[in-house]
Structure 1
């Protein structure tokens, strides 16, 4: 059974065609820097590989290019759309409506649309991908896997805001995000560590960034909340900010609420601090002495450290911390800056191991370290495929 996985991020699309139940990857690829004239398109199979830089100004254009590659007479891996049995979609916000994987119908699409305001960088692209996949692969079953589902285990003490109870009853709470990724890598860590009980901090660092405190395989706290906008400093999102700043921007500086929303979600974070949203550019500039970029890296990793301390407290100790996703897997500098001066917690990094490139789980702490520091490549696409396959075949 061929399952096509579409994983739309805020500025990227990862995709894989996976044969299930063997879990064999037939093809895979990535589109990065969507919205720019210099987007990067990657596509690979067992026999071919393509990488191009071109203008991809929207997620829709990117999705159409993916479909063209899959069906391409020379590079493609299918001859017609009917060969795709299931299209599995990552959907960022499921609210209280979705606690598990769901077969997509008109009602599901409407609920995803109703959550646009809570995940404006993601849910619209997720729904766009669903609707486009319905057109291109009309015979395939469309399945949604929600980022928020893994975090339904967060206890009330952690997911409630200090607001009157009526707001909680009206669905104002912590939902949590990147759940598919946090679930996948934490399960890999538990398997690797061979622990019957475990205390793990999972650090997902990409254009969007989040951290999860995971006890015995279950999410018990998370850095994002009602929407995927608070917590860590991200590519273009500010992360945690004093809400009084919003009132100051509106009442004193004359911003509209719409302008404030755009500022905090699309023009802040690393982009606002440096003028760059891609960490690779920021690291290059920092190495060349750009003080704004140096400070931004310091602020970014400082925030991560604060959350490590907080989650160590609520977990009552740590067995392991995990770095994952595009930045977490590839930036030795970020990992080093995060782990520096955490020796008192038992976190010590082996410099040589940290600078080793790996496509599989890598333990990068010093030998004998009390806390294991793991780099684990996330595979949201495989996790989505497994959940979609189970849903259709159970």
Structure 2
């Protein structure tokens, strides 16, 4: 019986899930406030992971799978961790300064606590390494881009991978024959055009800031806004970075980053909430149209993650007006209280609109087993 521990280390948190056999969850949990000066808070990731593992049945553990946010151009698939892999992940820290250091800490602690157990790094960016040069290249000076690693990397790869695969299964068709636009809508949000199981376009770029409107991130904007805020408003670059990543998106427009709260305020007549909702959905609709054009043929649009799975109003508004493209949401199906994978378009719609729950932890476990299983 295989048993895989999946670890997702953030800067001040640790999420874990222990799988056994075919996706059965044996245990799961989260440790928060790591390194914070509060009573009872773990001093560091080593203490947090030691505490978490003390209560887990780890006998016969097959492997540990680690979420690593940025694999750059180096990693196109999961990698069994050795010293060279650790060094390569460390070299990518400038591309993901908020994420890769925490991911590295989790790997190093797990290696120390579980000697002899294979450790596998699974990269958010790896699924998007199938992007063509035309899809992944920014139109800036080529030498500058090469020197500083400026490239469209894309993120949420584990989610887009499992959701596109499960969409094909839901439709009863081989993955290789299905073209899908997957919409991962959570506090972070991204769109991906998946052609026969391969990512061919995605909305996040060098960092997770680009693309869709998110809970606290702006998504796409005119780069001149940054220069304007620096030169005219006198804001330092660090403050602009904080503004675009932590004080923009829904939070910047309406003061809240939780879609449930936003929808409640919108229903009560809050004008700022209504505008934020329209901006959010308009951005999604523009990406759906663009990716339809990129794919040439579209078989399905799939919503996933917290907002995508649980906000019928967002799904309906994001695809409103696309009827002539064969994209229609059935109101009754869309509003039904189902929670599993389902189709919410009419039975005869040319493009299936689906809702498929994501499971990034299981995708990490699956990819981990793919490189360590005999």
User: TM-score of the superposition, structure 2-length normalised?
Assistant: 0.88
CA distance in 2, matches of 1:321, 1:57: 42
CA distance in 1, matches of 2:198, 2:319: 24
Q: CA deviation at 1:103?
A: 1.6
1:165 aligns to 2:145 (yes or no): no
Give the 5 Å matches for 1:256-295. Answer: 256-295=236-275
Deviations 1:223-274 (A, max 9, x none): 0111111000112211111110111111111111222112211221122222
Name which of 147, 151, 154 aligns with 1:176: 154
Q: Which residue of 2 aligns with 1:4?
A: 5
Higher strand share: 1
1:382 aligns to 2:328 (yes or no): no
On the 8 A contact 1:4/1:84 being kept in 2, the answer is yes
1:235 aligns to 2:208 (yes or no): no
On the 8 A contact 1:13/1:59 being kept in 2, the answer is no
Q: Which residue of 2 aligns with 1:23?
A: 23
Q: CA deviation at 1:107?
A: 3.2
Q: Which moved more, 1:217-226 or 1:166-175?
A: 166-175
1:330 aligns to 2:273 (yes or no): no
Indicate how the Cα distance of structure 1 residues 331 and 30 shifts in structure 2: closer, same or farther if over 3 A, else same. Answer: farther
1:343 aligns to 2:323 (yes or no): yes
On the 8 A contact 1:84/1:137 being kept in 2, the answer is no
Give the 5 Å matches for 1:207-222. Answer: 207-222=187-202
Indicate how the Cα distance of structure 1 residues 271 and 12 shifts in structure 2: closer, same or farther if over 3 A, else same. Answer: farther
Task: Give structure 2 stretches of 5+ with no counterpart.
Answer: none
Q: CA deviation at 1:210?
A: 0.6
Q: CA deviation at 1:209?
A: 0.7
Q: CA deviation at 1:293?
A: 1.8
CA distance in 2, matches of 1:358, 1:6: 29
Q: CA deviation at 1:100?
A: 1.0
On the 8 A contact 1:329/1:377 being kept in 2, the answer is yes
CA distance in 2, matches of 1:35, 1:168: 37
The alignment covers a number of residue pairs equal to: 367
On the 8 A contact 2:127/2:199 being kept in 1, the answer is yes
Q: Which moved more, 1:285-294 or 1:116-125?
A: 116-125
CA distance in 2, matches of 1:144, 1:338: 35
Q: Which residue of 2 aligns with 1:51?
A: none
Indicate how the Cα distance of structure 1 residues 285 and 110 shifts in structure 2: closer, same or farther if over 3 A, else same. Answer: farther
Q: Which moved more, 1:171-180 or 1:159-168?
A: 159-168
On the 8 A contact 1:201/1:321 being kept in 2, the answer is yes
CA distance in 2, matches of 1:115, 1:321: 33
* 3-state SS of 1:172 partner: coil
CA distance in 2, matches of 1:227, 1:55: 34
CA distance in 2, matches of 1:272, 1:101: 36
On the 8 A contact 1:201/1:213 being kept in 2, the answer is yes
Indicate how the Cα distance of structure 1 residues 70 and 333 shifts in structure 2: closer, same or farther if over 3 A, else same. Answer: farther
On the 8 A contact 1:82/1:140 being kept in 2, the answer is no
Q: CA deviation at 1:86?
A: 1.9
User: TM-score of the superposition, structure 1-length normalised?
Assistant: 0.84
Task: Give structure 1 stretches of 5+ with no counterpart.
Answer: 37-53
Q: Which moved more, 1:276-285 or 1:172-181?
A: 276-285
Deviations 1:305-324 (A, max 9, x none): 00001001111131100101
Give the 5 Å matches for 1:197-216. Answer: 197-216=177-196
Q: Which residue of 2 aligns with 1:253?
A: 233
Q: CA deviation at 1:143?
A: 1.1
CA distance in 1, matches of 2:342, 2:39: 35
Q: CA RMSD in A?
A: 2.8
Q: Which residue of 2 aligns with 1:129?
A: 106
Name which of 80, 86, 89 aligns with 1:112: 89
Q: CA deviation at 1:158?
A: 1.1
